[in-house]
Structure 1
């Protein structure tokens, strides 16, 4: 069963986190905060998580959970940074209108992250 409430809440939380890439916008925070948010979710699901700091504010999150057999591995990949917010009225507002959630990164790629997380439990 898909937990739509979890996905919606998680996406709203992710959109509220400013993760604009500092290479694209001077002084932007990068992915450190959103990486910690996802780290906490995956850690609670018994994943072995590591955050690697690449440069100030720029992180990679690696999470893995070992299986019980010798089956195939599955790798899921997503980026946590977003482009800038110039011209957006409320980029981190997580506004829901007509059943859709709006905000910076809701479609690329925070929506995909929110959709993947429930399947990790």
Structure 2
């Protein structure tokens, strides 16, 4: 997998404010992240399903189809972050000493970027899949986990 692509995706995701509204009632929540993941998937020609969990806060499910009736491999990461109190530039990603800094870099925009890059690689390689691969970008993990609960 191309680490530069993972870093590029991660920088893009960090730049999108996605503070859970519980921490900041003025926050737009995960709307920008959902739009980004949806645009990324449709750009790859993959189908996207939106699952409304709260008003304006949707889970995004991306599907890379395998054989009919094959098992499903699910990648899941959440799109919301905790608050930004005490951070000087939380949505300005910075690469320093081979690390990426910014709100959500570790929890869990980094994981989401890696999952997105893996799906990109599967699409670009045109590999014959033994399973269906799904990527779920979920809302509201930082407070109640209702995004994941709505999915299951």
* TM-score (norm: length of structure 1): 0.90
Offset, 1:44: 2.2
Structure 1 stretches of at least 4 aligned residues deviating more than 6 Å after TM superposition: none
Q: Who is 1:78 aligned against?
A: 77
The aligned counterpart of 1:103 is 102
What is the RMSD of the two structures over their aligned residues, measured on CA atoms? 1.4
Partner of 1:107, secondary structure, is: helix
2-side partners of 1:45 and 1:110: how far apart? Answer: 20
Q: Distance in 1 between matches of 2:64 and 2:115?
A: 15
Mean CA deviation greater in 47-56 or 101-110: 47-56
Matches of 2:38 and 2:24 in 1, distance apart? Answer: 25
Give the alignment's TM-score, normalised by structure 2.
0.73
- Going from structure 1 to structure 2, the CA distance change for 1:119 and 1:110 (only over 3 Å counts) comes to same
Mapping for residues 1-121 of structure 1, pairs under 5 Å:
2-120=1-119, 121=123
Structure 1 unaligned residues grouped into runs of 5+? none
Aligned residues: 120
Larger strand share, 1 or 2: 2
Residue segments in structure 2 that go unaligned for 5+ positions in a row: 124-152
